[in-house]
């Protein structure tokens, strides 16, 4: 045994102190880890955390965590390791767990799964991060990749997913693995079964096809546990379009109905579904500024959040969000067929918002160009700015506006706020065609100039 009092080198003394500190820290961290596992009980798959059954009532996002607790959520989902420790600590402080995303690179972003060096580097990075985070008490499971099957051709990605999952099972015996696909496809299911046997739980992102996914899990050969990793309103690829190709978005009230119905449907599958993460717990530009977010950019919540409160708390919230009724664009009290308007002319808009709590509503009106920065798989998009000077008069139920002078596709937004942290909204896509009278005047002026010469 070394006598620390007779050691001559202070460096050795420091090294021993550091070694002891790291050993004690490791033991302390291990004591903090809460074991999570999936088991079959009476033929039904269940998730267990700390020995107790755990059904995921999750939100997809890392913001408004106090609100998540208020409505009854018990877990959050991340897509990458960015700020991982911060999110784990924030979740733990509120009694929430985290499905921690490991962002496996996408072929559609230029990553080559034939490049063995790049694949090995990715695995090395995940090994380091899993080792670092594996004993955090808020950790629920590891989400290896999100929609790596989107617009891909190289199935070697599943070999890489398997290598990551196998590494996790070796490094971290306390938390299960999952991978998340874009919807559910029989070929992807077969590939995961064949190439990635270390995946414990199947994760699916699905929207309008949620009910089909629930029905198809067993048909496609997956007999293990699964969860819905993203779900919400109808996707922008699943809705009707205008004559010029603009997708028609549901109102906030229509989305709330979808959330309520779809949650009850997936909750009914108690045999294999271990829970879900609603999307999006936050706000982002994706096709429009409102399509997937359950909140405004400033944090006001929508009626869809109210529906989660009812589902998870079995009671309505203390104060409910406003609701959207009818709305339309008119000119001379006549509706405009197909919302095809004329450049530079004035139109009327009427809308009906209500609030069951009797709160005063303030409506904000905006006109924006139709977004042309449309990406895939949730990649970052830039929002088109509001066009100034078009709104001529407004109230909470009516608005008069002048159309832009440039031909093209636009959207009219209405946001109703109750000033108690809640909101409702709708938007109307419209198309502006050239004004035939203005065109005639330009032609006449041109002819007049030609005559003068």
pLDDT in tens, 11-56: 344 334 434 443 444 444 444 899 999 999 999 999 999 999 999 9
- Which string of DSSP letters, residue by residue, matches 59-97? EESSS-HHHHHHHT--EEE-SS-TTHHHHHHHHHHTT-E
The residues pairing with 367 across neighbouring beta strands, listed in sequence order, are 412
Residue 194: pLDDT band by 50, 70, 90 thresholds? very high
Domains of the chain: 30-313 (3.20.20.80), 323-438 (2.60.40.1930)
| Interatomic CA distance for residues 419 and 366, integer angstroms | 18
Residue 439: pLDDT band by 50, 70, 90 thresholds? low
Range 306-322 average pLDDT: 98
| Interatomic CA distance for residues 201 and 226, integer angstroms | 5
- Residue pLDDT, tens place only, 243-294: 999 999 999 999 999 999 999 999 998 889 999 999 999 999 999 999 999 9
Q: Measure CA 230 to chain center.
A: 6
Percent of the chain with pLDDT over 70: 90
b/e map of 253-273 (b: 16 or more CB within 10 Å)? Answer: bebbebbbebbeebeebeebb
Contact 425, 391 (CB under 8 A): no
* Residue 20: C-alpha distances to residues 3, 14, 24 (Å): 15, 10, 6
pLDDT for res 437: 76
Q: Which residues contact 362 (CB under 8 A, 6 or more apart)?
A: 396, 416, 417, 419
| Lowest-confidence pick of 9-13, 49-53, 396-400, 410-414 | 9-13
């Amino acid at each position: 045994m070394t006598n620390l009092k007779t050691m001559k080198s202070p460096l050795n003394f420091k090294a021993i102190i550091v070694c002891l500190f790291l050993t004690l820290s490791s033991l302390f961290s291990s004591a903090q880890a809460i074991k999570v596992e999936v088991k079959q009980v009476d033929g039904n798959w269940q998730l267990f955390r700390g020995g107790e059954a755990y059904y995921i009532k999750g939100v997809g996002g890392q913001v408004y965590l106090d609100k998540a607790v208020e409505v009854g959520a018990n877990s959050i989902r991340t897509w990458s390791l960015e700020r991982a420790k911060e999110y784990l600590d924030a979740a733990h402080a509120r009694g929430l767990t985290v499905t921690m995303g490991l962002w496996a690179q996408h072929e559609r972003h230029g990553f080559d799964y034939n490049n063995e060096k790049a694949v090995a580097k990715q695995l090395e990075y995940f090994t380091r991060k899993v080792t670092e985070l594996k004993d955090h008490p808020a950790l629920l499971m590891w989400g290896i990749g999100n929609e790596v099957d989107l617009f891909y051709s190289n199935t070697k990605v599943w070999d890489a997913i398997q290598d990551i999952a196998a590494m996790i099972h070796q490094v971290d015996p306390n938390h299960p693995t999952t991978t998340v696909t874009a919807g559910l496809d029989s070929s992807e299911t077969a590939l995961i079964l064949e190439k990635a046997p270390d995946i414990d739980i199947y994760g699916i992102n699905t929207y309008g096809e949620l009910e089909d996914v629930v029905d198809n899990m067993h048909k496609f050969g997956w007999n293990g546990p699964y969860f819905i990793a993203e779900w919400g309103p109808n996707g922008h690829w699943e809705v009707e379009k205008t004559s010029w190709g603009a997708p028609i978005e549901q109102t906030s009230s229509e989305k709330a109905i979808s959330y309520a119905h779809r949650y009850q449907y997936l909750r009914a599958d108690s045999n294999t579904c271990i829970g879900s993460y609603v999307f999006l717990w936050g706000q982002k530009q994706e096709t429009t500024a409102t399509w997937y977010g359950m909140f405004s950019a400033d944090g006001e919540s929508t009626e869809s959040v109210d529906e989660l409160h009812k589902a998870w708390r079995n009671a309505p919230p203390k104060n409910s969000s406003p609701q959207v009724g009818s709305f339309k664009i008119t000119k001379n009290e006549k509706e405009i067929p197909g919302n095809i308007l004329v450049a530079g002319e004035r139109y009327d808009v009427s809308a009906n918002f209500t609030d069951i709590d009797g709160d005063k509503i303030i409506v904000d009106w905006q006109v924006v160009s139709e977004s042309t920065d449309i990406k895939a798989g949730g990649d970052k998009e830039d929002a088109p700015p509001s066009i100034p000077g078009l709104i001529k008069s407004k109230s909470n139920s009516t608005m008069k506006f002048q159309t832009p002078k440039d031909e093209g596709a636009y959207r009219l937004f209405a946001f109703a706020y109750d000033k108690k942290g809640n909101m409702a909204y709708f938007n109307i896509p419209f198309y502006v065609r050239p004004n035939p009278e203005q065109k005639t005047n330009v032609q006449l002026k041109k002819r007049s100039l030609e005559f003068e010469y």
